[in-house]
Structure 1
């Protein structure tokens, strides 16, 4: 089996599994004061300190969550609520048109949402962002690396513009952490969300980096864990796994950028050479994601034919799995419904090899031919 869907979820890395296995049977609640509780608390705090060191944050700024979706929800909903509580006029939220549903869907529950467009390469329209930002904006949220196309947004520009009007700036960095250099403290960001399972870590844990002077309102109720932002018993074992995944990804970043860029170029050159009319969606992108348009097909048909041939990929975000509809991200980039329905996403991770790309390229022509015949 050839797995080219790491942007949906990346297999658990051996070193992460080993780190969790070493602590998973230890007893105790991290909030308990007895010896077992203190030992579990030490594991949790060591993981927090490790993540903070790797991502340029302070330990107090690392708030553990269940993953990217919860982090996005807390940043946007909790952030907006906190700003309104202090200033009732500051109720607007600004997002980009290509955000993950975890941002777009929750923002629709708010009284005023302003959506900044992107161009045909997927890049944020900064002039429009300037027009949308003012002193009534509570939170501006722009995804750092798009989960479908891999397009990289100019987060430094977003931060500068947000700061100028006093807005809190959040980024969904689920596809950025481990693939781009991240220095939270130096970035000027107020909030940054990411997850473990895109990095070869466990499913069920992520973190929201929250600048120490920023205080969103919690969306749940209960205990005072995680700066009173996320009540409930903390899972020290998963935190150890997240820390191990982040440490490994950051440590491999420079070498992996070169390696994955080579795999991406090999895949793009092969697909464009083998499939007439094929093209790549997205301008400046992360090396681990390739979004390819194939003319005259339903992408789902090609995906299933590749699956039958032993190659696994995606038609877009796994969050829309099972729903045959054009990609909202590609529609926002100006693609027609047919073009947005004919796109495949291939994504790499630590286990990806040239042989994986070659197996895809060997299976692709027949899959496309059969899908075009059925279109």
Structure 2
């Protein structure tokens, strides 16, 4: 049985050029970048060249790129350390109700420490209101953390508008750009962000590597303490091969490639919707397929069909989809994103699946998926009606 992968919001397969770049580094430039001998200098050169590639991808300077183990570390560093470093200026933080757990959990810890956190609500499309943001912002606000694009429904937040509002404010502005990176054009100056988090494995790069962009002048102590790597901002021997693989993945994503992927994924969404309607299958889109969405994420509600049953049957048929964020897949807790959008009593929370597309997804993959989806939904509904 062939298996078709439609869970690219969780992770993506490494591209062949990425594997080749990493293999070359593991075989040749295995030295410690902090060592002063020839082997160390070779590894340091790879780090410098890769950092330039990563910086250019968001219109930043190389010295403002801090290598991390991924977006979780980057988010934790940005939120926890900025809050602690600015406690004398205030104790108020603004975020949204649909952030990734790697943002929400550090914020929950800060609340226990006495910080006041405002969680902006979202509408049924997964968007915040700028009026709500304006009402929440005050002289006590020291940090704003708003994701660029949501990992469960694909909603895109008004990052540039928030950046403009904070231009003359003391608050440090952080965005988790993990899902948007590689699909949207991200320019840190145009967006007005001070901190930006990214993870390589969402763009066909290796797992366990990411970066935190830190605007010059935004100072806070390191989360990890030890050696003096990353200009004393993040201790630990650098994973040179993974950094090289990250850069190789970034090189594959040209501005035209971003536009092509967004158009391709939008076509997949339309293909699925048209086919389901044509087959008379009852469904509703969670979020929106209009402007203001990441097209690789498609969240669908099938009334009367449990998420668990649908996901399990699709898996048995050879199709990998998700019931929500991969980071909470083993939890019995309902999706906090769908809960924020539709309310805790909405049946959507237990009857929705997330389908997410990637570079390798084909029209034939989608056609086969649709055929299986229609068959399984119809069978499950018939079984429930007996």
TM exceeding 0.5: yes
Compute the TM-score of the two structures, normalised by the length of structure 2.
Answer: 0.93
d(CA) in 2 for partners of 1:103, 1:273: 40
Q: Let me know the Cα RMSD of the aligned residues.
A: 1.5
1:348 positional shift: 0.8
Query: Which of these residues, 327, 337, 356, is aligned with residue 335 of structure 2?
Result: 327
Equivalent runs, 1:37-116 vs 2, <5 Å = 37-84=40-87, 88-110=88-110, 111-116=115-120
Compute the TM-score of the two structures, normalised by the length of structure 1.
Answer: 0.95
SS of the equivalent of 1:95 reads strand
Partner of 1:352: 361
d(CA) in 2 for partners of 1:161, 1:186: 13
Greater shift in the superposed pair: 306-315 or 264-273: 264-273
d(CA) in 2 for partners of 1:352, 1:118: 30
Runs of 5+ consecutive residues of structure 1 not aligned to the other structure: none
d(CA) in 2 for partners of 1:324, 1:250: 39
Partner of 1:285: 293
CA displacement 1:4-63 (0-9 Å, x = unmatched): 000000001111111111111223100011110010000011000011112211001111
SS of the equivalent of 2:217 reads coil
SS of the equivalent of 1:292 reads strand
Is contact 1:326–1:337 with CA below 8 Å preserved after alignment?
no
d(CA) in 1 for partners of 2:276, 2:250: 32
d(CA) in 2 for partners of 1:22, 1:108: 42
d(CA) in 1 for partners of 2:287, 2:121: 14
Is contact 1:313–1:345 with CA below 8 Å preserved after alignment?
yes
Partner of 2:267: 262
Is contact 1:74–1:216 with CA below 8 Å preserved after alignment?
no
Partner of 1:27: 30
Between the two proteins, the alignment pairs up a number of residues equal to 372
Partner of 2:309: 301
1:273 positional shift: 3.8
Greater shift in the superposed pair: 184-193 or 140-149: 184-193
1:164 positional shift: 4.1
d(CA) in 2 for partners of 1:340, 1:273: 25
Greater shift in the superposed pair: 150-159 or 223-232: 223-232
Partner of 2:127: 123
